[in-house]
Amino acid sequence: MQYPHPILAREGWPFIGAALLASLLVSVFAGPWWSLPLWLATVFVVQFFRDPPRALPDDARAIVAPADGRIVSIEPCEDPYAQRQALKISVFMNVFNVHSNRSPVDGRIVSVNYFPGRFVNADLDKASLENERNALVIDCGGRLVTTVQVAGLVARRVLCYVVAGDTLERGQRFGFIRFGSRVDVYLPLDAQPAVSIGEKVRATSTVLARWAPEVSA
């Protein structure tokens, strides 16, 4: 079932409510100047938890970005979650990006595995294997795609709402990471990257890579 986008992510409602309440109380009892820092913090919290709807590209071969952010890695490497050689594309999210995570492909979830770990800067390559993370291996008609939510220096909570056996559609919301993080996508080696290092991407609407064209018999 597609997530009914309410503009603000449901994960943020308690934080937004608490920030609003604190701002109002300080404004009433101490005055508007004392409450100004709290109102600024409230604005930050609201922008952090925004969760806008996104349109899918009209391209059947498209593998879409799983998160908003900046491309920090495109490299062939070992996929430690599906035990195969793969093409890894990594998206780094700072605190000003949308942190809702969307499926890059259509498929059935083979496994979901959580790994405790450290909280080093998610912009660093070592974060992929050292930080707290949650890995989804997705079967796309016989082709495997691994999507890994990685916690960062500030992020301390990886949220995932799917389990093995669930099916996902491209662009479908499956999780959220609070306060700065990274998402790694491991693709078959014949997938064709459609982004470059340093490029800014938007979840669902940016084409991350494309499946190799099928060869007719």
Catalytically active residues are: 181
Residues 6+ apart with CB under 8 A from 21: none
CB 164 within 8 A of CB 88: no
Q: How many residues does the chain have?
A: 217
Only one residue has tokens 């990594």, namely 90
Residues forming beta bridges with residue 70, ordered by sequence position: 92, 200
**Residue 59 CB neighbour total at 10 angstroms:** 12
**Element housing 62 (H / E):** strand 62-64
CA distance 135 to 100: 15
15: burial class by Cβ within 10 Å (0-12, 13-18, 19+)? middle
